[in-house]
Amino acid sequence: MLRDITLGQYYGVNSPLHRMDPRTKMLWVIYYMTLLFMASSVWEYALMTAFTALAVKASRVPIGFITRGLKPIAILMLLTVGLNLFMTPTGSELWRLGFLKITDDGVVIAAKMAVRLVLLIIGSSLLTLTTSPIVLTGGIERLLAPFARLGLPSHEIAMMMSIALRFIPTLMEETDKIIKAQTSRGADFESGGPIKRVKAMAPILVPLFVGAFRRADELAVAMECRCYRGGSGRTSLRRFAFGRDDLFALIWAVALLAAIITIKVVTR
């Protein structure tokens, strides 16, 4: 399951989403999440699903690679769906077992929450899958640049965020290796009660934290050897500019918002 985490991974192909300015993509993700939380009717969720499918196709990232990122949140999704399914008191009762009951409103709300979670994961994953860590760092720094006048260290914040995203798949891969190594030595992580399972995590967490601190120290030494002194006075190799793909993204943003408003007015 650890290998299924796609957040922080970059899939390098030539696509319209890869060619877009990173600032456009980050603003689009925020805009996309806002529209998802604005959606309320089935038609609006259907529209957002269709748009997400078009974005996935435009990214040219294999759908199987993207959907792998849904496996780690399967438990969270089931918990969310279950709570909304059984804890919604309004609507016509469809099924009851003791204090548990399912209503038609609960089914609709649970389905909407499941779709929202899936679309959120896919939409946020497309940002890192189509943007390399270096480009993402530059984009975050450019977006935060106006706040630098207020004393906000935009470059340092962008660097920390990109390093954190970059090391997510690395740490997951290292965790997977540690689990396999401990299992080959006879460690048991599956049997026993919750307390025993928590104690069994010690042989995983200790070497994982040691390895993480070692990697952080090596990265700090490497940055010091290259005379890294923060963002003050630094120049950039890459120059970001809005192009045709970014213009298309803006047109899609206006069209999507207009479609959602139209659906809200018609279905009111």
Domain residue limits, the chain: 2-266
For 132-182, write each residue's pLDDT tens digit.
877 888 888 888 888 877 887 887 888 887 788 778 778 888 888 888 888
* Beta bridge partner(s), residue 124: none
Assessment of whether the complete model's pTM goes beyond 0.85: no
Q: Is the pLDDT of residue 3 over 60?
A: no
Instruction: Report the pLDDT value the prediction gives residue 5, as an integer from 0 to 100.
Output: 59
Comparing C-alpha atoms, which of 220, 218, 241, 239 is closest to residue 230?
Answer: 220
| Average pLDDT, integer, range 184-209 | 79
Q: What is the pLDDT of residues 207-245, one digit of tens each?
A: 888 988 998 899 889 988 988 877 666 666 677 888 899
What is the C-alpha separation between 150 and 246, in angstroms, rounded? 29
Contacts of 193 (CB under 8 A, 6+ apart): none
Decide if pLDDT at 44 tops 90. Answer: yes
Q: Quick one: DSSP state of residue 126?
A: H
Other CB atoms within a 10 A radius of the CB of residue 216 amount to 12
